[in-house]
Amino acid sequence: MDVHGNGYNRWLLFILMLLATLAGSLMQSTLGTALPTLMKKFEIDLNTAQQATTWFLLALAIMVPVSAYLVKRFPTKHLTLVTYCLLLGGICLTAFTPEKHAMWTMFVIGRVIAAAAVGILMPLLQITILNIFSANERSLAMGLMGLVVGMSPAIGPTLTGWILDQSHHFMGLTLAASWQTIFYIPMVVLIIVLVLTPFIMRDVIPTEATIHLDSLSLILSSFGFGLFLLGFTNVSTDGWGDLWSVDAPIVTGLLIIGLFTWRQLTIPHPFLDLRVFKSWNFTITTITTIMAMMAMMGVEMMLPTYLQNVHGMTALDSGLTLLPGALFVGILSPIAGLLYAKAGIKRLAIAAFVVLIAGTIPFAFLTTSTPAIVITLMYTVRMIGVALALMPLTTAAMDALPQAQTTDGTAVNNTARQLASSVGVAVLTSVTQNVINTNKPHHQLSTVDPLKYAAKSLDASMQGFQVAFSVGLAFAVIGLVVALFFKRAKKVGANS
């Protein structure tokens, strides 16, 4: 029964929400393979192109805590309809951006609008699972969610590569079917979902008419996290130590985040209830999740650029190179849930990070001649570690809290995950571009000795990628160390 006492098909409702979530996840995962193409079409550098991912992740992170308020305040059916429309509008704006340097801002704005919708979709789906399924059924529902969300990194890059490769071979026949085409499939999926939602969706989450949004907290979180990330994204162009574009935004952002934290701990009804961190295992789980996300997202976004710019691969080939590893995330997500129930989070998290570290170490020593099959195997090992970590960590975070705090815990945990993704991408992109800028040869050499200039430019690129992958390795090592501090938890589902 829904909140009005009317019957409904919960599995049909769940599947419909999964489809919408898949469309949103594809918006997050498809762009990595397309970055080199976008750089050429819009005549932008790597740092500028990466803004499409960085600001997507930031907008997503800002909206996640807002979702806790929206879910409690508005009927589920109305909220989902508005969210799906917002996502479709953002995708359309991005897909139909003219290929001009001056129009790049329009492309990014479309990404931000879509991200705002995705930031609502993910927590909404998790909270819906908690409300419509019993404790015994949640593990299956969470596993299916992990399968769908985990499969998008597999489907997205490969699909993007195939589309871009086809556009390359048939440009005379498909003038518009280039990078824009990668957004058409999510658009079609969302249109179908929008048509079915009025008939299938129900109000399944109780609302609180008296709850109010703390506008000051929203402003503090938006400006705090926005300035913090802006400083990191500017490193690639201005370098570390630049006062106004790097140091000032980062420091100011941290100060505002501090004010935001203080406010959440002192007001009766916080915008983001940080009191959930009083639970030791929730805190450790959140930190390890942050490290896993930063280790995964940064390297995941840099590899397609490395494969295409250094190895000269097509977009399709780079997507296929990473396909096996991405598939393992989706396949292992339900299995990881079972392993969590059997072994507990501490042993599973330690094993996951050991695998992640083992798969990441070789990336720090990549060369221009590293065989593609070796990269595929290493990436697959990395993603097995990620798959063993992420879904069990998310489940463990909820198990560490009493039922009354699960909505706030979901918002906090998802916020941490998305911020980690955003910062991870910004850090590795800025580090890569900064190393390349520092080591690239003087442009005058290109006219004196073009071959030597090309060789030195390639060496500079490789140094940038190697340093970036080393940073990704450091995130994984920190995650392993933190995982050692898990305390023995109650039996899974004890506080459900």
Q: What is the pLDDT confidence band of residue 176, given thresholds at 50, 70 and 90? A: very low
pLDDT in tens, 301-316: 778 778 887 788 876 7
What are the residues whose beta carbons fall under 8 Å from the beta carbon of 389, sequence distance 6 or more?
A: 288, 289, 292, 336, 348, 349, 352, 353, 356, 479
Mean pLDDT of 362-378: 87
pLDDT of residue 32: 66
Q: How confident is the model at residue 175 (pLDDT cuts 50, 70, 90)?
A: very low
pLDDT in tens, 329-359: 777 877 887 788 788 889 999 999 999 999 9
Is the pLDDT at 93 greater than 90? The verdict is yes
Whose CA is closest to 479, among 383, 351, 380, 366?
Answer: 351
Q: Which of 107-121, 178-192, 337-351 has the highest mean pLDDT?
A: 107-121
395-422 CB burial, b ≥16 within 10 A, e <16: bbbbbbbeeebbbbbbbbbbbbbbbbbb
Q: At 135, is the secondary structure helix, strand, or coil?
A: helix
Kindly give the interhelix angle for 280-309 and 46-73, rounded to the nearest 10 degrees. Answer: 150
Helix (H) or strand (E) holding 315: helix 315-343
pLDDT at 391: 79
Q: Burial of 439 by CB count in 10 Å (0-12 exposed, 13-18 middle, 19+ buried)?
A: middle
416, pLDDT greater than 50:
yes
Q: What is the pLDDT of residue 285?
A: 92
Mean pLDDT (whole number) for 151-172: 61
Q: What does 251-304 look like in DSSP terms, one character per residue?
A: HHHHHHHHHHHHHHHHSSS-SS-GGGGGSHHHHHHHHHHHHHHHHHHHHHHHHH
Contact 316, 161 (CB under 8 A): yes
The residue extents of the domains of the chain are 10-213+271-483, 214-270
- CB 340, CB 387: distance < 8 Å: no
**Average pLDDT, integer, range 467-490:** 87
Residues 6+ positions from 339 with CB-CB distance below 8 Å: 348, 388, 392
Query: Where does the pLDDT of residue 221 fall: very low under 50, low under 70, confident under 90, or very high at 90 and above?
Result: confident
Q: What is the mean pLDDT of the chain?
A: 81
Q: Supply 471's token pair.
A: 């940073």
Q: What is the mean pLDDT of residues 66-74?
A: 82
- Between CA 261 and CA 271 the distance in angstroms is 10
pLDDT value of residue 27: 77
pTM: 0.75
pLDDT of 415 higher than 70: yes
Helix (H, G, I), strand (E, B) or coil at 314: coil
What is the DSSP annotation of 404-471?
GGHHHHHHHHHHHHHHHHHHHHHHHHHHHHHHHHHHSPPTTHHHH-HHHHHHHHHHHHHHHHHHHHHH
pLDDT at 453: 77
- Higher pLDDT pick, 239 / 433: 433
What value does the mean pLDDT take over residues 414-437? 77
Mean pLDDT over 182-209 rounds to 88
Distance CA 245, CA 225 (A): 15
Tell the CATH superfamily of the 10-213+271-483 domain. MFS general substrate transporter like domains (1.20.1250.20)
